[in-house]
Structure 1
Amino acid sequence: MSAPKGWRLFEMGTTNDEESDEFPPEKRLEASNTHLIKAGIATIPDMETLQECVAYENAHQNRTQILRQLKWKAEELRENEE
């Protein structure tokens, strides 16, 4: 299947590895404003990515507010697993 000139085709399914590579912790957590950081956290797809973000935050800025938001995201992911 080819896309019209100037258009880009997107595959419907992406793996979590592809998502993690596309949005590594530094892109999720080093945004220019808090709204972008919140969006980065909200779009974390799985526990593995979340753990990478927690490790990154602990090693770099160690911001209490960001770590709290990551904790809330972990609780949300756990609830969705059940």
Structure 2
Amino acid sequence: MSDSSNLSVESDGLTPQQRLEPPNTRLINAGIVTIHDMETLRACVAYENANQQRVQILRRLEDRASEIRSQND
């Protein structure tokens, strides 16, 4: 099984790598805020877990998941 999460392009044209590896944290935050679906969010979590494993980024992704779930209720 290959890990394609870092190569797959999501609905808005950004890969998880592009969202989570920009040069500054403001761009990372913007990448997370612009996630609008759980599929994209899961791909970003998988990418982060496979690469950097930054707790702060994973928390932001978890918060975004909660926001997406509450919007879908």
Give the TM-score of the pair, scaled to structure 1.
0.76
Superposition RMSD in Å: 0.8
Task: Work out whether 1:59 is the aligned partner of 2:50.
Answer: yes
Match of 2:11 among 15, 18, 36: 18
Q: Per chain length, whose mean CA-contact separation is higher, i.e. which structure has more relative contact order (CA < 8 Å, sep 6+)?
A: 2
- Provide the C-alpha distance between the structure 1 equivalents of 2:57 and 2:22, rounded to a whole number of angstroms: 12
Q: How does 1:23-34 map to 2 (within 5 A)?
A: 23-34=14-25
Structure 1 residue runs without a partner (length 5+): 1-16
What's the TM-score, normalizing by structure 2? Answer: 0.85
Moved over 3 A (4+): none
Question: Aligned residues, how many?
Answer: 64
